Structure 1
């Protein structure tokens, strides 16, 4: 017997929800592993990883507080939680996504000083400065999300009536342009400039070490190799973030100027592309960074509970490599 149209719709919805649930679990578990690893192992506690830790908290909150309700909205096509919670959910969504890219801007800033100005790095990235930057990464996104959205300032001069059983994030032209510039395009420009300067500095310094004696050359080469690898890893993470969020922020600006004619399916696809990015960062850390990879394995296999495993242990080399 052929499957009816309703049965096909239900099966498609069930399949979609299953994949989205997998994405949510990966987002929460992966980012929680990052938080555990940096919090537990002293070797991972650095200025750069302070930003990575805070970024992982933001991504983990996306998986816990934002994605489950968005999943129900996407699959069911309706909103069952009331207009007030719709505003709260939208505010939280905007805040956490903006916080993510702000953290990546700070990571680019941190890498710029580590590679281009290493002599002033410890001064510029002191504990107090890192704490201040992380506070900015959370405060500014909160101001551009909760304030305007909860007070309906983001839909000023928008005359479209939204049914009570829908949660559609419409924004005015002014808010779309200003919020997208602050949350995405300006930080993107900062990151691209920072990594371009890092790339040029790395090429210049690689030529300079050619004339040094062998011992100094070796130490400098090892330092540059370590910093270059960190910059490359974080640059890839940043690039993935930009690729996955660029479609959403582009449509977010364009949609008010084309009378909100973008299809709901397009919005959902672009939004979930951005959400999926929150689940990718931990896998990128594990793939490109040996220390994170070892820390993840130790937590997943519960080896952190074994004797001899301490927060101060060396993650860079295994016992075989040390011998």
Structure 2
């Protein structure tokens, strides 16, 4: 169903509730991703090839929270677009570019982890600084090409004869653009992630079985080498945790982005009859992925957690110092 004019249907209570809910999501997206960027930039021990991808991912997700989500929030709650048709194109371009860049980074992290776990001997060779820089450049350049070019030149709506009023910002796409952009932005990175994580899972399982066999052999002995047994048990537990983490990462990615990109392909073939509320729900599910990425890629890591605690304690100390100085100046 395509509305022909802008109408604000929501009552005051639902508007306040939605604004509060979305604002919490925006703040957590910006703060969480900024913490990741700050931690990697500040702490030398976090500056690894993998964390270069994590840092670039956090920059993309932080921009999603800063420049895309606030305007999408107003559009979703009010049902209207107050910022003109040119800014609508710019907003749509930034939306497509930053969300695609975020997804590309996720597939690069999966690719990097695959080499680290499955081919550790050639990892440093394959993931040199120049190669990491090249992959990060691709993660930003390709999304820019599939977003700004087609959208600003109206190529994404070639052959679509639906007139959109000035006070609406609806992202309509032609069948060709819907299929091509969804394949590049989601389905191809998803395939890379699925293959990489499946291979990592199999490698982790194989290692766990080997460790288990070694433990059985040791147990058959006279109970010596207990420290070795304990080390192997810790390794096995770590492998199990890593496999579980991979499952969570992949599951979250699919749950939050699959509905939007499936609908994105289907909608042009069913005459653009999808209700706006369905689009909004699926789009905000995708945005939520940007707010969860710092937790999945940062907070699961012990070094990151330690860095976050240090950053928070420094922030608290700074706040106390500012309060103390302001209190002293008030007294004087």
- TM-score where L is the length of structure 1: 0.86
Match status 1:278 vs 2:280: no
Q: Which residue of 1 aligns with 2:262?
A: 250
Q: 1:265 matched to which residue of 2?
A: 277
Unpaired segments ≥5 residues, structure 2:
1-7, 219-224, 319-332
Question: How many residues matched?
Answer: 301
Pair 104,221 (structure 1): closer, same or farther in 2 beyond 3 Å = farther
Match of 2:309 among 297, 304, 312: 297
**Is the contact between residue 103 and residue 185 of structure 2 (CA under 8 Å) also seen in structure 1?**
yes
Residue 298 of structure 1: how far off its partner (Å): 1.8
In 1, distance between residues paired with 2:51 and 2:229? 28
The CA RMSD measured in Å over matched residues stands at: 2.5
CA contact (8 A) 1:104 1:238 kept: no
The question of whether the paired residues in 1 share the 8 Å contact of 2:194 and 2:250 is answered with no
**Contact 2:9 2:79 (C-alpha < 8 Å) held by counterparts:** no
- 1:181-196 matches, within 5 Å, as 181-196=183-198
Q: Write the distance in 2 (CA, Å) between the matches of 1:119 and 1:217.
A: 25
1:302 is paired with a residue of what secondary structure? helix
1:122 and 1:220 map into 2 onto residues whose CA distance is 25
Residue of structure 2 equivalent to 1:117: 119
Q: Contact (CA 8 Å) 2:111, 2:196: kept in 1 or not?
A: yes
Q: Does 1:239 align with 2:267?
A: no
Partner of 1:146: 148
Runs of at least 5 residues in structure 1 that lack an aligned partner in the other structure:
1-5, 307-323
Alpha-carbon separation, structure 1, partners of 2:25 and 2:72 = 12
1:26 aligned onto 2:28: yes
Please name the residue that 2:135 is paired with: 133
User: Could you tell me which residue of structure 1 aligns to residue 11 of structure 2?
Assistant: 9
With structure 2 as the length reference, what TM-score do the two structures score? Answer: 0.83
Residue 239 of structure 1 deviates from its aligned partner by: 2.5
Cα deviation, 1:115-172, whole Å, max 9, x if unaligned, reads 1111000000111111110000000000000110000000000000000110000000
Question: Is structure 2 residue 108 aligned with structure 1 residue 106?
Answer: yes
Contact 1:155–1:171 (8 Å) recurs in 2: yes
Question: Judging changes above 3 Å, is the alpha-carbon distance between structure 1 residues 48 and 218 closer, same or farther for their aligned structure 2 residues?
Answer: farther
8 Å contact kept, 1:99–1:141: yes
- Please show how residues 59-78 of structure 1 align to structure 2 within 5 Å: 59-78=61-80
Query: Given the superposition, is the C-alpha separation of residues 230 and 137 from structure 1 closer, same or farther in structure 2, using an over 3 Å criterion?
Result: farther
1:283, distance to aligned residue in structure 2 (A) = 2.6
